């Protein structure tokens, strides 16, 4: 989230689209309703289903799943046509004035694709900016040049008329206009609008562009950086913000440092390629500090055991253009490319798209290690439905771990607030904290390499691990020591000029904590595991433990409650909440204020001294936010494409039906025999309905924890399929009937929930039915499976298996997040063919 949960109280208009916070982030509604009650805020909800959030909304609009860009593209057109944008903000704080290469072709003039498409990939030469002799981007501050970003934006979305958008989305035209009008009312300096999304936007083959479309709207309306504004990416797990911050993804090191590829032969080359450059004289370009963060990270890996250059050489490198993401892992696993696999604190047999492929893949391993609290469908995959254990070679280790209140450590919420958790009791039996388990594992691996050697054994031997002590036979991992390493320390005595006060010098001793990341060094004299967490630990304490209640601004920033990255800033981009002279756009909700000498309020972000002319989006090389985004794989502006599996013959927007840059797993040489789709080239009568997945309040993710908690299992006991009264009638299904939902990849038994919450949407004159089901279930907690004598039995059984048995192996071209929110299914009453 750019802002944070409490900040919802400052909002005037909520747009809930791509999420259902009332059910999935229930306590967020405490602040949403406070805004409704105290400010008279209005809630808009756009969703294929009339959700719990819709039930609280002032305005609900139905939509066909997977058509959000069409819906929002229409809003961009409405905002521009009716001049409802915040023109000063757009002019000063975005790239609206930048002039683009006149050779760029937009999809409207190029058969639905941007210029440069070749073999499913874009060559981006024509997406570039016009530059002068010094390489500075040419601009037109009047925003009237036909090649300036603003005019291109206007031209691109001129095709998104209410008539056409309505035919695509199934949203009635008058509803579209109502939504556009209400949300566009936040384009005034004294109005704030926020968008709330979750997996409803990411799990699409146009996932990134869904969010880009909204970012464009928020920039047009001047909603970024202000109190009550922003884009709220509501993360699905308590620490998925933190785990991403810590680089548990193939493409990033901790702190969002792009991982090195094979062509970057030295640390200098790596730094050079990863450090963005700018010719804008007044832009701060914060990422110019990349080499300080990479050096400090390498020190946290290898300390004094290697120079930073040696440490860089020891680190694994990706192939240039290589993809090692989730869908690829299970594809490679199914093709027997791995012998070993860790599923640590995860249950991919239920959470992975196309779960059947995942489950088959697990059987092709030599060994599998699963760490979890309870028995689950992943560690026990070899005895699941359709499996014959006598034919499965995989050796499996199930290691029991401590729950969150049986150990200590911190997690980061969606608002980037790092909060400490304390240990209340010991874990049950011999279960151990994850930190202890991985430490013990590493020591044993180190010992084997010390004894027998092996390829690049120094990469393991030299790895530092100063995170605890041995007590008797056991090592106890101390997260407080790790917290200090994440923050960073000086490795040698160093006298440095204060980066924020010229002429003031400070001397640090070896072992002193680094005060903030502005003090980190590129010469190896500092160590910091994750630069964005630099500042989270002081000489005296871990700031995530703080419980202060002060709220000087009254905006709910609570700067002394725990700690937020970066540098305890609670609202990102807040430099854009003031005008170029430093005056808050909205004095009644001033996030930062200039008191004549310094900024007060939140920790300022990108705000130079008033009148300095520094553009505030300092994480962008040019200092301005991107209406035009040439960095993405699938286009500098979002364009509507149909989901891969969809209920329509063609894309009404253009001749290009699907996102042209997606990687299809049903093509020769990619994917496997299990990767089949339906309804791609033409409608497939076997699977006539749009299927979508969602969650309920009482369960969490695959239910790997919550299905074992009797209160929760009792409240939401099993798999269901929610459908409209119209569809139920057509299929002869009554509320509560056992049904079978199937897709090209599998089937799941569900109880029918027949409700008016789903209504058929009229898409280009045709009734389209959409059905939805939760993905929390799995066979391990069901009653009818085979139980061995030592097996644990849930106190309250659930029924049904994972909805991911239905979902396809297909992902967004930028992120490879699977398209689990839109795919084609059939629903029949059980026993009916």
Partner 1 sequence: MNVSRRGFLKISGAVAAVSGLGISLKPITAHAKELKIKYAEETTTICPYCSLGCSIIVSARDGKVINTEGDPDSPINRGALCSKGGSIYQMVNNENRLGKPLYRAPFAKEWKEVEWDWALDKIAENVKKSRDASFKKTNAKGELVNRCEGIASVGSAAMDLEECFTYQKFLRGLGLVYIEHQARI
Q: Taking CB under 8 A as the criterion, which residues in 74-133 touch partner 1?
A: none
Does position 809 interact with partner 1 (CB under 8 A)? The reply is no
Of these, 806, 817, 824, 827, which contacts partner 1 (CB under 8 A)?
817
In the complex with partner 1, the residue whose CB is nearer, 213 or 418, is 418
In the complex with partner 1, the residue whose CB is nearer, 149 or 489, is 489
| Closest separation in Å from C-beta 110 to partner 1 | 32
Does position 463 interact with partner 1 (CB under 8 A)? The reply is yes
Q: DSSP assignment of 598-610, as one string? A: SEEESPPSS--ST
**Residues sharing a CB contact under 8 Å with residue 759, sequence separation 6 or more, in sequence order:** 50, 62, 724, 726
In the complex with partner 1, the residue whose CB is nearer, 31 or 160, is 31
| Closest separation in Å from C-beta 539 to partner 1 | 19
Does position 599 interact with partner 1 (CB under 8 A)? The reply is no
| Closest separation in Å from C-beta 420 to partner 1 | 8
| Closest separation in Å from C-beta 466 to partner 1 | 11
In the complex with partner 1, the residue whose CB is nearer, 75 or 371, is 371
Does position 345 interact with partner 1 (CB under 8 A)? The reply is yes
Torsion of CA 632, 322, 416, 96, to 10 degrees: -10
In the complex with partner 1, the residue whose CB is nearer, 436 or 639, is 436
Of 401-420, binders to partner 1 (CB under 8 A) are 403-415, 417-419
Does position 57 interact with partner 1 (CB under 8 A)? The reply is no
| Closest separation in Å from C-beta 453 to partner 1 | 9
x-or-dash pattern for partner 1, window 287-326, by CB under 8 A? -------------xx-----------xxxxxxx--x-xxx
Q: Which residue has the tokens 């860009």?
A: 69
Of these, 583, 795, 830, 832, which contacts partner 1 (CB under 8 A)?
795
| H, E, C per residue of 529-582 | CCHHHCCCECCCCEHHHCECCCCCCCCCCCCCECEECCCCCCCCCHHHHECCCC
The whole-angstrom separation of Cα 572 and Cα 416 is 10
For residue 624, which of 156, 139, 84 has the smallest C-alpha distance? Answer: 139
Length of the chain: 833
Of these, 441, 652, 674, 676, which contacts partner 1 (CB under 8 A)?
441
Q: DSSP assignment of 42-88, as one string? A: EEEEE-SS--HHHHT-SEEE---TT-HHHHHHHHHHHHHHTT-S-HH
The whole-angstrom separation of Cα 632 and Cα 67 is 19
x-or-dash pattern for partner 1, window 206-225, by CB under 8 A? --------------------
Of these, 39, 91, 155, 423, which contacts partner 1 (CB under 8 A)?
423
The whole-angstrom separation of Cα 546 and Cα 809 is 44
| Closest separation in Å from C-beta 178 to partner 1 | 30
In the complex with partner 1, the residue whose CB is nearer, 21 or 162, is 21
Cis amide bond preceding 566, omega within 30: yes
Contact region for partner 1 (CB under 8 A) — 122-130, 168-176, 337-345, 600-608?
Answer: 337-345
The whole-angstrom separation of Cα 358 and Cα 332 is 10
In the complex with partner 1, the residue whose CB is nearer, 97 or 781, is 781
Burial of 139 (0-12, 13-18, 19+ CB in 10 A): buried
Of 502-531, binders to partner 1 (CB under 8 A) are 529-530
Residue 685, classed as helix, strand or coil, is coil
Of these, 14, 89, 477, 508, which contacts partner 1 (CB under 8 A)?
477
The whole-angstrom separation of Cα 48 and Cα 757 is 9
In the complex with partner 1, the residue whose CB is nearer, 577 or 820, is 820
The whole-angstrom separation of Cα 250 and Cα 245 is 13
Does position 440 interact with partner 1 (CB under 8 A)? The reply is yes
**To 5 degrees, how large is the angle CA 227–CA 229–CA 234?**
115
For residue 421, which of 438, 429, 439, 433 has the smallest C-alpha distance? Answer: 433
In the complex with partner 1, the residue whose CB is nearer, 386 or 685, is 386
The whole-angstrom separation of Cα 632 and Cα 641 is 16
In the complex with partner 1, the residue whose CB is nearer, 4 or 759, is 4
| Closest separation in Å from C-beta 104 to partner 1 | 31
Rounded to the nearest 10 degrees, the angle between the axes of helix 68-81 and helix 173-184 is 60
**Distance, C-alpha 390 to centroid of its chain:** 40
In the complex with partner 1, the residue whose CB is nearer, 567 or 652, is 567
Does position 476 interact with partner 1 (CB under 8 A)? The reply is no
The whole-angstrom separation of Cα 168 and Cα 657 is 12
Does position 663 interact with partner 1 (CB under 8 A)? The reply is no
Of 715-734, binders to partner 1 (CB under 8 A) are 715
Of these, 119, 134, 163, 390, which contacts partner 1 (CB under 8 A)?
390
**To 5 degrees, how large is the angle CA 357–CA 361–CA 363?**
130
x-or-dash pattern for partner 1, window 234-263, by CB under 8 A? xxxxxxxxxxxxxxxxx--xx-------xx
Of 698-717, binders to partner 1 (CB under 8 A) are 698-701, 705-706, 708-712, 715
Strand partners for 410:
420
Does position 549 interact with partner 1 (CB under 8 A)? The reply is yes
The tokens of 403 are what? 């729950």
Does position 749 interact with partner 1 (CB under 8 A)? The reply is no
The tokens of 145 are what? 């040049």
Of these, 143, 164, 182, 460, which contacts partner 1 (CB under 8 A)?
460
Of these, 168, 816, 824, 827, which contacts partner 1 (CB under 8 A)?
816
| Closest separation in Å from C-beta 86 to partner 1 | 29
Total interface residues for partner 1 by CB under 8 A:
176
Rounded to the nearest 10 degrees, the angle between the axes of helix 267-274 and helix 290-302 is 140
Cα–Cα distances (Å) from 827 to 355, 772, 773, in that order, read 19, 11, 11
Cα–Cα distances (Å) from 225 to 3, 221, 314, 336, 607, in that order, read 8, 11, 40, 48, 11
Does position 389 interact with partner 1 (CB under 8 A)? The reply is yes
Does position 537 interact with partner 1 (CB under 8 A)? The reply is no
Does position 396 interact with partner 1 (CB under 8 A)? The reply is yes
| Closest separation in Å from C-beta 787 to partner 1 | 11
Contact region for partner 1 (CB under 8 A) — 90-98, 140-148, 212-220, 331-339?
Answer: 331-339
Of these, 172, 182, 307, 344, which contacts partner 1 (CB under 8 A)?
344
The whole-angstrom separation of Cα 825 and Cα 195 is 30
Of 484-503, binders to partner 1 (CB under 8 A) are 485-486
Of 24-53, binders to partner 1 (CB under 8 A) are 24-28, 30
Of 682-701, binders to partner 1 (CB under 8 A) are 697-701
Measured distance between the N- and C-terminal CA atoms of the chain, rounded to whole angstroms: 46
Contact region for partner 1 (CB under 8 A) — 36-44, 164-172, 232-240, 597-605?
Answer: 232-240
Of these, 103, 268, 304, 424, which contacts partner 1 (CB under 8 A)?
424
| Closest separation in Å from C-beta 452 to partner 1 | 8
With b for 16 or more beta-carbon neighbours within 10 A and e for fewer, the 196-230 pattern comes to bbbbbbbbbbbbbbbbbbbbbbbbbbbbbbbbbbb
x-or-dash pattern for partner 1, window 356-385, by CB under 8 A? ----------xx-x-xxxxx---xx-xx--
């Amino acid at each position: 989230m750019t802002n944070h949960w409490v900040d919802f109280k400052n909002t005037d208009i909520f747009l809930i689209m791509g999420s259902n916070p009332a059910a999935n982030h229930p306590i967020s509604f405490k602040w949403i309703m406070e805004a409704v009650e105290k400010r008279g805020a209005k809630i808009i909800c756009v969703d294929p289903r009339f959700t719990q959030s819709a039930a609280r909304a002032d305005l609900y609009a139905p939509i066909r799943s997977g058509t959000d860009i069409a819906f929002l593209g229409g809003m961009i057109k409405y905002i521009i046509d009716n001049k409802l944008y915040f023109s000063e903000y757009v002019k000063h704080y975005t790239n609206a004035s930048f002039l683009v290469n006149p050779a760029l072709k937009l999809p409207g003039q190029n058969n639905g694709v941007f210029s440069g498409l070749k073999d499913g990939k874009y060559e981006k030469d024509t997406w570039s900016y016009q530059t002068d002799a010094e390489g500075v981007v040419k601009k037109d501050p009047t925003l009237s040049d036909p090649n300036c970003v603003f005019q291109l934006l206007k031209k691109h979305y001129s095709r998104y008329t209410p008539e056409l958008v309505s035919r695509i989305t199934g949203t009635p035209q008058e509803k579209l206009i109502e939504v556009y009008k209400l949300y566009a009312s936040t384009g005034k300096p004294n109005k704030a609008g926020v968008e709330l999304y979750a997996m409803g936007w990411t799990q699409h083959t146009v996932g990134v562009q869904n969010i880009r479309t909204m970012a464009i709207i928020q920039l047009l309306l001047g909603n970024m950086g202000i109190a009550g504004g922003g884009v709220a990416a509501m993360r699905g797990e308590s620490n998925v913000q933190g785990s991403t911050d810590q680089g548990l993804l193939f493409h990033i090191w901790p702190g969002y440092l792009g991982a090195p590829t094979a062509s970057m032969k030295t640390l200098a080359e790596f730094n050079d390629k990863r450090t963005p450059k700018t010719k804008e004289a007044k832009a701060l370009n914060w990422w110019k500090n990349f080499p300080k963060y990479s050096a400090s990270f390498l020190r946290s890996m290898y300390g004094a055991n290697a120079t930073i250059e040696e440490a860089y050489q020891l680190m694994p490198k990706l192939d240039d253009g290589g993809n090692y993401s989730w869908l690829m892992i299970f594809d490679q696993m199914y093709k027997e490319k791995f012998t070993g696999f860790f599923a640590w604190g995860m249950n991919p047999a239920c959470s992975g798209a196309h779960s059947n492929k995942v489950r088959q893949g697990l059987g092709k391993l030599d060994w599998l290690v699963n760490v979890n609290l309870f028995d689950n469908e992943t560690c026990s995959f070899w005895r699941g439905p359709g499996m014959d254990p006598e034919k499965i070679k995989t050796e499996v280790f199930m290691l029991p771990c401590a729950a969150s209140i049986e150990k200590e450590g911190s997690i980061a919420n969606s608002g980037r607030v790092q909060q400490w958790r304390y240990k209340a009791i010991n874990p049950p039996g011999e279960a151990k904290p994850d930190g202890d388990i991985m430490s013990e594992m590493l020591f044993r691996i180190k010992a084997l390499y010390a004894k027998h050697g092996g390829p690049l054994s120094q990469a393991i031997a030299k790895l530092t691990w100063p995170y605890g002590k041995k007590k008797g036979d056991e090592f106890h991992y101390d997260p407080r020591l790790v917290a200090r390493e994440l923050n960073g320390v000086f490795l040698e005595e160093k006298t440095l000029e204060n980066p924020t006060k010229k002429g003031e010098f400070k001397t640090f001793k070896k072992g002193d904590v680094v005060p903030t990341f502005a003090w980190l060094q590129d010469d190896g004299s500092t160590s910091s595991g994750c630069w964005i967490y630099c500042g989270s630990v002081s000489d005296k304490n871990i700031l995530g433990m703080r419980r202060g209640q002060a709220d000087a601004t009254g905006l709910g920033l609570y700067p002394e409650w725990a700690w937020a990255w970066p540098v305890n800033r609670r609202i990102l981009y807040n430099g854009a909440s003031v005008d170029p002279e430093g005056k808050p756009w909205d004095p009644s909700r001033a996030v930062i204020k200039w008191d004549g000498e310094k900024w007060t309020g939140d920790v300022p972000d990108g705000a130079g001294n008033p009148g300095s002319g520094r553009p505030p989006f300092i994480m962008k090389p040019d200092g301005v936010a991107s209406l035009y985004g040439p960095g993405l794989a699938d286009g500098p502006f979002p364009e509507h494409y149909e989901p891969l599996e969809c209920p329509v013959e063609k894309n009404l927007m253009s001749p290009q039906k699907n996102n042209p840059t997606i990687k299809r797993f049903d093509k020769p040489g990619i994917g496997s025999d299990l990767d089949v789709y339906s309804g791609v080239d033409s409608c497939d009568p076997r699977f006539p309905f749009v299927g979508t997945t969602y969650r309920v309040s009482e369960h969490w993710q695959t239910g790997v924890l919550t299905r074992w908690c009797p209160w929760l299992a009792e409240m939401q006991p099993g798999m269901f399929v929610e459908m409209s009264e119209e569809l139920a009638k057509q299929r002869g299904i009554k509320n509560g009937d056992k049904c079978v939902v199937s897709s090209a990849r599998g089937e799941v038994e569900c109880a029918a929930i027949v409700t008016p919450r789903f209504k058929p949407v009229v898409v280009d004159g045709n009734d389209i039915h959409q059905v939805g089901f939760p993905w929390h279930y799995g066979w391990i907690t069901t009653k009818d499976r085979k139980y061995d004598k030592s097996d644990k039995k849930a106190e309250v059984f659930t029924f049904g298996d994972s909805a991911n048995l239905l979902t396809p192996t297909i992902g967004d071209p930028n992120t490879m997040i699977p398209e689990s929110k839109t795919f084609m299914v059939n629903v029949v009453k059980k026993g009916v063919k």
